[in-house]
């Protein structure tokens, strides 16, 4: 199944998922997740569904990870940035999260998705077989954003550098502000700001229509002016207390179970 798990391994996986030590797999089917993958360390996303011989249903979410050296994104980058990007993007970080004790630090109302099985391969790839969270439908109400921010803040306060070790030790990442500066100096300064400065960007029909409809004719200049302030903002942030954080805390990565709407299940 997915070229990795079958036979005795599938039996073991189903028994972990169902909690039934005697479960025997019956029918199994796989569905690709209809979601545009934006993270270069993610190779593929699938959901696996099945039944047991006894008629019980089971499912899991399968995330295949890879070194960014395999990602097509790398071909879009200038040659001089590629090696540093490969070093910077730790494809195995999510695996390290599930193998760590970080779940014990999560504040009440947050938890990690249950990892049923983790495979790591010799070619800088891996697979996490995890809980398939059935989410509450619809957009978040405003109050949920506030609660998520509050709980994320509590989590970060518990993961200050003097209290915990990094999940995945890497050179330079103990230096305050290193990760944010890497992102700002690369994605923001090298890609986003030049695109904003390019008049062709603002001639795109969808963007031009939005600017016209809102009357925000000074938006381009405002954004470029903010871009000039990025170095000063980074300097100011360096002076603040530092802590580890989620890193990509969007609704796509803070799943709300349909049967527990006050809970967040953290992924990615």
CB 116 within 8 Å of CB 240:
no
Q: What is the pLDDT at residue 65?
A: 97
If asked whether residues 124 and 202 sit together in one domain, one would say no
If asked whether residues 76 and 160 sit together in one domain, one would say yes
If one counts the domains in the chain, the total is 2
CB 185 within 8 Å of CB 143:
no
In a domain, 157, yes or no: yes
If asked whether residues 231 and 251 sit together in one domain, one would say no
CB 119 within 8 Å of CB 127:
yes
If asked whether residues 143 and 202 sit together in one domain, one would say no
In a domain, 2, yes or no: no
In a domain, 82, yes or no: yes
In a domain, 3, yes or no: no
Residue burial 80-105, b: 16+ Cβ < 10 Å; e: rest? eeeeebbebbbbbbbbebbebebeeb
Q: Locate tokens 């011989």: which residue?
A: 53
Full DSSP string of the chain? -TTT--THHHHHHHHHHH--TT--EEEEEEEE--S----TTEEEEEEEEEEETTS-EEEEEEEEEE-GGGSGGGGGS-HHHHHHHHHHS-TTHHHHHHHSSGGGGSPTTEEEPPEEEEEE-TTSEEEEEE----BPPSPPPHHHHHHHHHHHHHHHHHT-TTTS--SS--TTTTSTTHHHHHHIIIIIIIIIHHHHH-HHHHTSHHHHHHHHHHT-TTHHHHHHHHHHTHHHHHHHHHTSPP----S--STTTEE-BTT-TT-EEE--
- pLDDT by 10s per residue, the chain, length 268: 555 566 899 999 999 999 999 999 999 999 999 888 888 999 999 999 999 999 999 999 999 999 999 998 888 888 888 888 888 888 999 999 999 988 999 999 999 999 999 999 999 999 999 999 999 999 999 999 999 999 999 999 998 877 777 777 777 766 778 888 988 988 899 889 999 999 999 999 999 999 999 999 999 999 999 999 999 999 999 898 888 888 788 999 999 999 999 999 999 8
If asked whether residues 121 and 89 sit together in one domain, one would say yes
If asked whether residues 68 and 183 sit together in one domain, one would say no
Walk across the sheet containing 110-112 and list its strands: 110-112, 264-266, 254-255
CB 118 within 8 Å of CB 128:
yes
In a domain, 111, yes or no: yes
Q: What is the pLDDT at residue 5?
A: 65
Q: Which domain holds residue 45?
A: 8-172+245-266
If asked whether residues 38 and 59 sit together in one domain, one would say yes
pTM value is 0.84
What's the half-sphere exposure (Cβ side, CA atoms, 13 Å) at 17?
27
Neighbours of 173 (CB within 10 A): 14
If asked whether residues 185 and 128 sit together in one domain, one would say no
If asked whether residues 120 and 189 sit together in one domain, one would say no
If asked whether residues 156 and 192 sit together in one domain, one would say no
Q: What is the pLDDT at residue 52?
A: 96
* CA-based end-to-end distance of the chain: 23
Using CA atoms, how far apart are residues 69 and 71, in angstroms rounded to an integer? 6
If asked whether residues 150 and 185 sit together in one domain, one would say no
In a domain, 59, yes or no: yes
If asked whether residues 108 and 197 sit together in one domain, one would say no
In a domain, 1, yes or no: no
């Amino acid at each position: 199944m997915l070229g990795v798990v079958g036979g005795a391994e599938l039996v073991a996986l189903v028994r972990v998922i169902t909690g039934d030590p005697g479960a025997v797999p019956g029918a199994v089917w796989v569905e690709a997740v209809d979601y545009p993958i934006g993270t270069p360390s993610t190779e593929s996303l699938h959901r696996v569904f099945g039944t047991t011989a006894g008629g019980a249903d089971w499912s899991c979410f399968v995330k295949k990870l890879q070194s960014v050296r395999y990602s097509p994104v790398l071909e879009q980058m200038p040659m001089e940035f590629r090696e540093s990007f490969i070093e910077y993007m730790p494809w195995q970080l999510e695996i390290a999260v599930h193998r760590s004790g970080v779940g014990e630090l999560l504040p009440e109302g947050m938890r990690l998705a249950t990892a049923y099985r983790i495979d790591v391969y010799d070619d800088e790839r891996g697979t996490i077989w995890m809980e398939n969270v059935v989410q509450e439908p619809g957009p978040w109400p405003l109050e949920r954003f506030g609660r998520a921010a509050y709980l994320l803040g509590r989590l970060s306060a518990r993961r200050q550098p003097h209290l915990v070790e990094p999940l995945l030790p890497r050179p330079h990442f103990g230096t305050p502000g290193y990760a944010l500066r890497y992102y700002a100096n690369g994605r923001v300064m090298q890609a986003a700001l030049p695109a904003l400065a390019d008049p062709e960007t603002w001639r795109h029909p969808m963007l031009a229509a939005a600017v016209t409809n809102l009357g925000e004719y000074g938006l381009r200049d405002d954004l470029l002016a903010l871009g000039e302030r990025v170095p000063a903002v980074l300097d100011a942030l360096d002076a603040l207390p530092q802590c580890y954080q989620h890193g990509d805390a969007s609704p796509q990565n803070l799943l709300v179970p349909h049967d527990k709407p006050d809970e967040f299940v953290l992924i990615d």
